[in-house]
Amino acid sequence: GSDYRGLQGICTRNEVTMYMVLLSVYKILLSKLCNVEDVVVGSPTSGRSHIDLEGIVGMFVNTLCLRSFPKGDLSYDAYLGELKKDVLDAFEHEQYQYEDLVDSLELIRDESRNPLFDVAFSYHHRDASLEEVSDSGDITIETS
């Protein structure tokens, strides 16, 4: 609808992805609700970046810790620009294992909570090509 087109306009104007726009809105909401200007959110990444992993069955997921500062005196576009840089930097280092990060920070572990973040953000882009495949009659795809 028109709301989605508005979000796409923000993406185009700021040269960012929909993930970044939605993450920025989520972080601003958390900042306002918790009255903080330093927000850390966990975000899962998946993939097989090393050739040795191609033949292994299973799902490979690493968690990125995305820290940003949605300060009240920043315009939305300025904050989105900062968040874009932070997200791109985090994805540059996504191969650095989460457990290694926790160990290197020498944090006191509390088994009742995550040591680096309290909330997570995951974005799943629904691929339009799936609908084309499901119309072929050979494959049935159900979405939830």
Q: Is the pTM of this model over 0.85?
A: no
Residue 134: predicted pLDDT:
47
For 58-127, the DSSP string reads S--EEEEEEEE---TTS-HHHHHHHHHHHHHHHHHTTTS-HHHHHHHTTPPP-TTS-SS-SEE----PPP
Pairing of strands 39-46, 119-120: parallel
Looking up tokens 């966990």, which residue turns up?
A: 42
> How big is the CA angle at 44 (ends 33 and 35), to the nearest 5 degrees?
15
Residue 119: predicted pLDDT:
93
Residue 139: predicted pLDDT:
56
Give the phi and the psi of residue 12 in degrees, each rounded to 5.
-65, -45
Residue ranges for the chain with pLDDT beneath 70: 1, 47-60, 126-144
Stretch (H or E) spanning 134: helix 129-134
**What is the distance between the alpha carbons of residues 18 and 144, in angstroms, rounded to a whole number?**
20
Residue 45: predicted pLDDT:
83
Per-residue pLDDT tens over the stretch 16-55: 999 999 999 999 999 999 999 999 999 988 765 666 666 6
**What is the distance between the alpha carbons of residues 90 and 81, in angstroms, rounded to a whole number?**
14
